[in-house]
Amino acid sequence: MTSIIKIRRKREIVILTDGLGREPNGAAQTCGKCTMLPRAPALMASRGIPLMTNIAAAHCTTWSFDRLVAEGADVYRTIFQQYSAALPEVKQLAGREEVSLAGWSEVEQRFAIYLLVPDNRYESAGIKPFTFTEQQEPIGIAPGPLTEEQGAPLFDLDAEKFDLLVDGRRVMEMQQSWAPEYRAAIGVHVMCYRVNQSGVSASVVYRWPEDHEPTARA
């Protein structure tokens, strides 16, 4: 139930994630949820099983972004199926897994963000399992609001003007307030990953105090 905010700008793509992970017994831990591929350059983020994207990225360290889009889904499918068969926790989390791939396309000379899921949950939106499908919106926020009232403050967000500290923190704290399971799954810090034509970078832009961090098991 990771928070992920994807922002496509004219000169870069930014992915914001929180830093809260869970041990198998439910204990909280700090967790990185986005893998950087400097040579592509690209970012690969996970909302469910960061281990899978880390392993997939390790198989594709020398690939271009365009090759990742064309062939990366097959690599991810193979790894996911192998680990799902061997590790029960991977199979249990499959319903939460969403992989975002963001970077600069040399072929099309533009930035792009793609989404992959391991099942048919978004089939009605034209997203097939284990297929990278391009996301058209300039800002993507997940988990999303559960009601129109919750979503109303998001309508005025602008990708170019989005303040990574102020707006990033604000959106994640809104997500925490939307549902108890979100509150239990989003926390520790706001991590900022950026990709442009020159490369990738990462930094923590905000860290919540300990008394703010969720402690209940998701």
What tens digit of pLDDT does each residue of 92-126 get?
777 788 999 999 999 999 999 999 999 999 999 99
Are 1 and 22 contacting, i.e. CB atoms less than 8 angstroms apart? Answer: no
pTM of the complete model beyond 0.75: yes
Residue 217 is predicted with a pLDDT of 37
pLDDT over 80 (residue 171): yes
Domains, the chain, in order of start with CATH, read: 4-207 (3.60.20.10)
Write out the H or E segment, with its range, that includes residue 21: strand 20-22
Residue 101 is predicted with a pLDDT of 98
Across residues 61-70, what is the average pLDDT?
Answer: 97
Residue 215 is predicted with a pLDDT of 40
Higher pLDDT, 39 or 93: 39
pLDDT over 90 (residue 150): yes
pLDDT over 80 (residue 179): yes
| DSSP of 193-213 | EEEETTEEEEEEEEE--TTTS
Across residues 24-30, what is the average pLDDT?
Answer: 76
